[in-house]
């Protein structure tokens, strides 16, 4: 018994030491409003990529101009590790950020675990009234608003205008046209037509939507990835690689894709607005006009791309929720959205932002706005994010030829039903 007490004391000491080490983030965080003025520190975890982060840091820190007593602590967390890191921080409470930039697929998950602070009623009303309805939907869970949409996006076909002109082809509208175009590009320029991202299952979605399928049907609680359309989707992706129209990798897909596209090794890739800033930095796109975007190629049923984007949410355990909510409101304000549209070609989530001259002038926004309007809304269920991991395994196997499309679809279905307990 006595040892038990000693152990408890030791654990307590260790815990104290640990919190003492990490205490500085929130040390001055208190929810103090000196004469109605916000103060303290707001820690923001941003998941934007290398090409975008400098711009967002500058925007975030400019919050201080409006609220001089609030310090913004900007932290960039690589998108790939972010979901895990956020969960670790939220569940332990120490070192947790006050505000996070959450992928639209994570909001329901975090909210269902009780990690998110509900958006204040007046802000929630504004979200319903002033934001694109499909963006607003991603921030909701069981009828309550937990996050404010920051940017919205979808996938499109990026192409190198000059390379397509050299090969004498138009941007392909269907997978069949894509293969013909790739053959012409190979013949004329010796380069490959398309880079197909093989290591990330998000890039599988256009194929399954293109065949008229979907991963799951949330209304009838059915897993649909392994039905006939799902199998066809795996086949279509695999076929692009075997026919030589596309190259792919099982690792480092993002870097390899961007390198190949920027250096003119491939003529086309499927990507979203978040890749625009980085692509402009490449040799091939010194003249920005050389970058073209078109809708994703259609499968046998239609052309379909997933609706994505990022929302800003406040941690339920934040010691400074007033300042955190004010920060979210600032980061999703029209002014900020117009600025990120102009600098990074990211799409605003506020309807009125599209009327602004800077937004109207952006060619990427002009293309992506109608694409977003047509984008396929995903099922906003808590498990949304975790479906992508088993899907990635099967998708990679299918496109690299390690397993047949039929087996890949079947195995993905088995894994999905393990995650979605009780679904058909």
Partner 1 sequence: MAADTSQSVAKAAGADAGENSGAARGPSRATANGNPRPGRGLGRALATHWYAWAMVAPVVLVLGVIIGWPLVRGVYLSLTDANERNVSRTIGVRHIEATYEFVGLDNYTAVLGDPVFWQRLVWTVLWTVACVSITFVLGLALATMLNRQFRGRAAYRMALILPWAVPGFVSVFAWRFLFNRDNGILNKVLDGGGISAVPWLDDPTWAKFSVIAVNVWLGVPFMMVALLGGLQSIPGELYEAAEMDGARPWQRFRHITLPGLRAVSMTVILLSTIWTFNMFPVIFLLTRGGPGDSTEILVTQAFREAFIASPRDFAGSATWGVLILALLMIFALVYRRSLRKQGEVW
Positions in the binding site for partner 1 (CB under 8 A) = 3, 6-7, 10-11, 14, 84, 87, 90-91, 93, 109, 112-115, 199, 247-252, 255-256, 259-260, 265, 315-319, 382-383, 385-386, 389-390, 393-394, 396-397, 400, 402-403, 418-419
User: Is the CB of 59 or the CB of 270 nearer to partner 1?
Assistant: 270
Q: Nearest-CA neighbor of 140 among 410, 352, 382, 390? A: 382
User: How open is the CA angle 189-197-250, to the nearest 5 degrees?
Assistant: 110
Backbone phi, then psi, for 150, in 5-degree steps?
Answer: -100, -55
CB 274 within 8 A of CB 153: yes
Least distance from partner 1 to the Cβ atom of residue 158, Å? 18
Residue 336, Cβ density class (10 Å: 0-12 exposed, 13-18 middle, ≥19 buried)? buried
Beta strands in 201-285 (DSSP E): 216-217, 222-223, 246-247, 266-271
User: Is the CB of 286 or the CB of 418 nearer to partner 1?
Assistant: 418
Least distance from partner 1 to the Cβ atom of residue 161, Å? 23
User: Is the CB of 250 or the CB of 352 nearer to partner 1?
Assistant: 250
Q: Position of tokens 């002033």?
A: 130
User: Is the CB of 274 or the CB of 416 nearer to partner 1?
Assistant: 416
Distance of CA 262 to the CA centre of its chain: 21
Least distance from partner 1 to the Cβ atom of residue 113, Å? 6
Least distance from partner 1 to the Cβ atom of residue 84, Å? 6
User: Is the CB of 86 or the CB of 275 nearer to partner 1?
Assistant: 86
Residue 141, Cβ density class (10 Å: 0-12 exposed, 13-18 middle, ≥19 buried)? buried
User: Is the CB of 397 or the CB of 410 nearer to partner 1?
Assistant: 397
Least distance from partner 1 to the Cβ atom of residue 340, Å? 29
Least distance from partner 1 to the Cβ atom of residue 266, Å? 10
User: Is the CB of 84 or the CB of 170 nearer to partner 1?
Assistant: 84
Contacts of 235 (CB under 8 A, 6+ apart): 405
Return d(Cα 420, Cα 415) in angstroms, integer: 9
User: Is the CB of 290 or the CB of 321 nearer to partner 1?
Assistant: 321
Beta strands in 185-275 (DSSP E): 192-195, 216-217, 222-223, 246-247, 266-271
Least distance from partner 1 to the Cβ atom of residue 109, Å? 5
Return d(Cα 209, Cα 222) in angstroms, integer: 16
Backbone phi, then psi, for 341, in 5-degree steps?
Answer: -70, -40
Least distance from partner 1 to the Cβ atom of residue 97, Å? 13
Q: Give the SS3 label for residue 107.
A: helix
Phi/psi zone of residue 234: left (φ > 0), alpha (ψ -120 to 50 degrees), beta?
alpha
User: Is the CB of 78 or the CB of 370 nearer to partner 1?
Assistant: 78
Return d(Cα 192, Cα 260) in angstroms, integer: 10
Least distance from partner 1 to the Cβ atom of residue 398, Å? 9
């Amino acid at each position: 018994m006595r040892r038990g007490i000693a152990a408890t004391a030791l654990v307590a000491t260790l815990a104290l030491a640990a919190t003492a080490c990490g205490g500085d983030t929130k040390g001055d965080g208190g929810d103090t409003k000196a004469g109605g003025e916000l103060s303290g520190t707001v820690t923001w975890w941003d998941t934007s990529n290398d090409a975008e982060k400098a711009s967002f840091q500058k925007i975030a820190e400019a919050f201080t101009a409006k609220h001089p007593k609030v310090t913004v602590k900007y932290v960039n967390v690589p998108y790939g590790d972010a979901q895990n890191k956020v969960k670790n921080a939220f569940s332990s409470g120490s070192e947790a950020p006050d505000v996070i930039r959450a992928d639209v697929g994570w909001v329901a998950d975090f909210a269902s675990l009780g990690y998110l602070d509900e958006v204040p009623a007046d802000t929630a009303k504004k979200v319903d009234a002033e934001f694109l309805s499909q963006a607003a939907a991603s921030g909701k869970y069981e009828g309550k608003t937990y996050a404010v949409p920051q940017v919205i996006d979808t996938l499109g076909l990026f192409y190198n205008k000059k390379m397509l002109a050299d090969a004498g082809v138009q941007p392909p509208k269907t997978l069949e046209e894509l293969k013909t175009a790739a053959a012409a590009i190979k013949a004329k320029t010796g380069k490959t037509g398309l880079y197909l991202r093989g290591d990330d299952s998000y890039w599988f979605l256009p194929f399954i939507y293109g065949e008229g399928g979907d991963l799951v049907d949330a209304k009838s609680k059915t897993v649909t990835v392994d039905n006939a359309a799902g199998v066809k989707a795996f086949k279509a992706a695999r076929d692009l690689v075997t026919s030589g129209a596309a190259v792919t990798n099982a690792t480092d897909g993002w870097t390899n894709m961007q390198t190949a596209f920027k250096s003119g090794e491939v003529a086309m890739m499927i990507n979203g607005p978040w890749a625009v800033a980085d692509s402009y930095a490449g040799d091939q796109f010194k003249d920005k006009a050389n970058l073209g975007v078109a809708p994703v190629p259609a499968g046998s049923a239609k052309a379909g791309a997933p609706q994505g984007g990022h929302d800003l949410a406040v941690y339920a355990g934040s010691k400074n929720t007033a300042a955190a909510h004010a920060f979210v409101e600032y980061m999703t304000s029209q002014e900020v959205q117009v600025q990120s549209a102009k600098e990074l070609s990211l799409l605003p989530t506020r309807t009125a932002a599209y009327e602004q001259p800077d937004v109207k002038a952006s060619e990427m926004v002009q293309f992506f706005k109608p694409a977003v309007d047509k984008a396929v809304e995903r099922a906003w269920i808590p498990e949304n994010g975790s479906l992508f991991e088993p899907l990635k395994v099967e998708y990679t196997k299918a496109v690299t030829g390690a397993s047949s499309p039929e087996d890949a679809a079947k195995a993905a279905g088995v894994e999905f039903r393990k995650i979605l307990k009780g679904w058909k």
